[in-house]
Amino acid sequence: MSQSSLTSRIDFETRPDLYRHWTLSFDGPIAVLAMDVQEDGGLSSDYRLKLNSYDLGVDVELADALQRIRFEHPEVHAVVVRSGKERIFCAGANIFMLSGSSHALKVNFCKFTNETRLAIEDASAHSGLKFIAAVNGICAGGGYELALACDEIHMVDDGSAAVSLPETPLLGVLPGTGGLTRLVDKRKVRRDLADLFCTIVEGVKGRKAVEQGLVDKVHPTSRFLPAVMQRALELAKTSDRPTSGPGVTLGPLGGEVSDQGVRYSHVTLVVDRERRTGELTVRAPREPQPETVEAIVAAGDGYWPLRAFRELDAAVLHLRLNEPEVGTVVIRTEGDADAVLGVDRMLLTHADHWLVREITLFMKRTLKRLDLTARSFIALIEPGSCFAGSLFELALAADRSYMLDDPERPVSVALSGMNAGPLPMSNGLSRLQTRFLGKPDFVDELLAETEPFDAPAASDGELVTSAPDELDWDDEVRLAIEARAAFSPDALTGMEANLRFAGPETMETKIFGRLSAWQNWIFQRPNAVGERGALKAFGAAQGRPQFDWTRT
């Protein structure tokens, strides 16, 4: 990773021997993730990461460590998140990094950090992994939000350790990575107590923090770490993960990066900066795929769904952080639809196997990342496409889909059990259920269809936005892409984020649809980022911030 400037490429690939800020160790069924942020290890030399504060680079390492625990260490059943520094857990996102970053980088930093915290909760809910935060001192802002993502928070009771969310009184912004939502939705802290807590800079200590539901337990210094490890062992006994390996090593993706985009073995992203458009292509497996669970394990990270979706995830992150002006992206697929459906059958047949489960969960998280990406996606279903089963989720995730209706060049789409719920959106529903909120029974009718849908059938089944014939195809698609690229990106971001998540609200949709939206707005307001705003004034000689007192 290089610099915080969006003019320099940010690389999301790393591995444990390259970590600068985290150490990952193992003790039987327990993994210990120790945060020891190097002050001079930020993505930019413009700030120092003091007091275990973090920037995007620190969180990229954390996200990688979580992936490796899930895939490479099936024998791990519980994870202790602790600090490598004395009397400091984590001071949260680095304030000087935030104040000096562009608006786009602030927002994408918060989004990635949110996704990483949610990955912890996803592992707890679905992977048989439990997480304990061992708070040994200062635990403020994003540091407390990291602790909140864990199943339990244990804090040392030494008279100085405290948890706090001081963003509103101190910085004029919000705890932007789920803190407010997790307080009341997850930990069910009373609203008035949460209000009080979020306006106290110094935070809450000791038994008072337990009484208010802010932490689960406190321990005296002499018993702190032994008590945490003992509790981790107790939680580990509840896991259904294997007692031993082997796991699957996640090797480097080895993508080719150029001015035109990125190219991997199964995924390609090509950008046209002049037109502010991109083409994202996902290819079906070319080689025969494993037909037994033993063969899946032997295939390791080369197994098509794991490899292809890791590449897709990397391409989406590259698009977010390294191509900020590419606003409209065409999604294509290539290859044999039957090969994709065959992989889907294997994933469904062996869904209870730990590795198959992890692969499916990773596919789910990658598709969610696509849902949450502030770009317009248009799926084009053409001759040679393989929008089937798990890859048809890409068309369902798109804002629009166009399917060529040409009897001379027939095209089809197909559904599988992977469209029936294993890959839910942030709202807890499948993309088909979200698409057909007004007629839920229709989803079952579509899923009962065993034959592929040609263009007329897909149109009748409301699976695509439009099915132009060969005479209208070029003009209709061209106009759709050109018009989309000409609209206000701000208006499109707001429109898409509202339309994509119909249906029930969950903690996850609140974090991204409510908390993130407000933080996005606040990050542009002079009270936060103006010359006399709170973020700019923090630590500066000019002293207290100067606010516009108008409430809107």
CA angle (432 as vertex; 431, 437 as ends), nearest 5: 100
d(Cα 387, Cα 384) in Å, to the nearest integer? 10
For residues 141 and 175, is the Cβ–Cβ distance under 8 A?
Answer: yes
Q: What is the pLDDT of residue 391?
A: 98
3-state secondary structure of 544: coil
Q: Map tokens 């108008």 to a residue.
A: 550
Q: What are phi and psi of 468, to 5 degrees?
A: -70, 150
Dihedral of the CA atoms 274, 280, 286, 287 (nearest 10)?
120
**In the listed set 494, 512, 541, which residue is the last one of a domain according to the structure?**
494
Q: Are residues 182 and 262 in the same domain?
A: no
The amino acid at 243: T
Q: Is residue 500 part of a domain?
A: no
Q: What is the pLDDT of residue 8?
A: 72
Give the number of residues written for the chain.
552
Domain count for the chain = 2
Q: What is the pLDDT of residue 5?
A: 37
Enclosing H/E stretch for 280: strand 277-283
Q: Are residues 279 and 220 in the same domain?
A: no
Q: Are residues 153 and 297 in the same domain?
A: no
d(Cα 113, Cα 118) in Å, to the nearest integer? 9
Q: Hey, what are 109's tokens?
A: 């930093």
Q: Map tokens 């929008």 to a residue.
A: 387
Q: Are residues 28 and 170 in the same domain?
A: yes
Q: Is residue 2 part of a domain?
A: no
pTM for the full predicted model:
0.96
Q: Is residue 353 part of a domain?
A: yes
Q: Hey, what are 337's tokens?
A: 């639809």
CATH number for the domain that contains residue 143? 3.90.226.10
Q: Is residue 79 part of a domain?
A: yes
Q: Is residue 549 part of a domain?
A: no
Burial of 451 (0-12, 13-18, 19+ CB in 10 A): exposed
For residues 416 and 446, is the Cβ–Cβ distance under 8 A?
Answer: no
d(Cα 419, Cα 33) in Å, to the nearest integer? 35
Q: What is the pLDDT of residue 514?
A: 87
Q: Are residues 106 and 140 in the same domain?
A: yes
Q: What is the pLDDT of residue 47?
A: 95
Q: Hey, what are 433's tokens?
A: 């259920």
Q: Are residues 222 and 275 in the same domain?
A: no
DSSP string for 377-391: EEEEE-TT---BGGG
Q: Are residues 83 and 175 in the same domain?
A: yes
Dihedral of the CA atoms 33, 36, 42, 48 (nearest 10)?
150
Q: Are residues 149 and 260 in the same domain?
A: no
Residue 508 neighbours by CB under 8 Å, 6+ apart = 118, 426, 427
Q: Are residues 273 and 327 in the same domain?
A: yes
Q: What is the pLDDT of residue 7?
A: 45
For residues 262 and 268, is the Cβ–Cβ distance under 8 A?
Answer: yes
**In the listed set 172, 203, 236, which residue is the last one of a domain according to the structure?**
236
Residue 284 neighbours by CB under 8 Å, 6+ apart = 304, 333, 334, 335, 336, 337, 339, 340, 386, 391
d(Cα 69, Cα 86) in Å, to the nearest integer? 25
User: Containing domain of residue 354, as a range?
Assistant: 256-494
Q: Hey, what are 411's tokens?
A: 């095209």
Q: Is residue 247 part of a domain?
A: no
C-alpha separations of 479 from 402, 452, 541 in Å: 12, 28, 53
Q: Are residues 229 and 277 in the same domain?
A: no
Q: Are residues 173 and 226 in the same domain?
A: yes
CA angle (378 as vertex; 376, 382 as ends), nearest 5: 165
Q: Is residue 462 part of a domain?
A: yes
Pairing state between β 22-27 and 30-35: antiparallel
Q: Is residue 295 part of a domain?
A: yes
Three-state SS string over 65-119 comes to HHHHHHHHCCCCCEEEEEECCCCEEECEECHHHHHHCCHHHHHHHHHHHHHHHHH
pLDDT one digit per residue (tens) for the chain, 552 residues: 333 333 478 899 999 999 999 999 999 999 999 999 999 999 999 999 999 999 999 999 999 999 999 999 999 999 999 999 999 999 999 999 999 999 999 999 999 999 999 999 999 999 999 999 999 999 999 999 999 999 999 999 999 999 999 999 999 999 989 999 999 999 999 999 999 999 999 999 999 999 999 999 999 999 999 999 999 999 999 999 999 989 999 999 999 999 999 999 999 999 999 999 999 999 999 999 999 999 999 999 999 999 999 999 999 999 999 999 999 999 999 999 999 999 999 999 999 999 999 999 999 999 999 999 999 999 999 999 999 999 999 999 999 999 999 999 999 999 999 999 999 999 999 999 999 999 999 999 999 999 999 999 999 999 999 999 999 999 999 999 999 999 999 999 999 999 998 999 999 999 998 888 889 889 999 999 998 899 888 877 567 898 989 888
**In the listed set 185, 204, 236, which residue is the last one of a domain according to the structure?**
236
Q: Are residues 161 and 120 in the same domain?
A: yes
Contacts of range 379-385, beta carbons closer than 8 Å, 24 or more positions apart: 379/330, 379/331, 379/332, 380/330, 380/331, 380/332, 380/477, 381/411, 381/413, 381/458, 381/464, 382/332, 382/411, 383/409, 383/410, 383/411, 384/334, 384/335, 385/332, 385/333, 385/334, 385/337, 385/411, 385/413
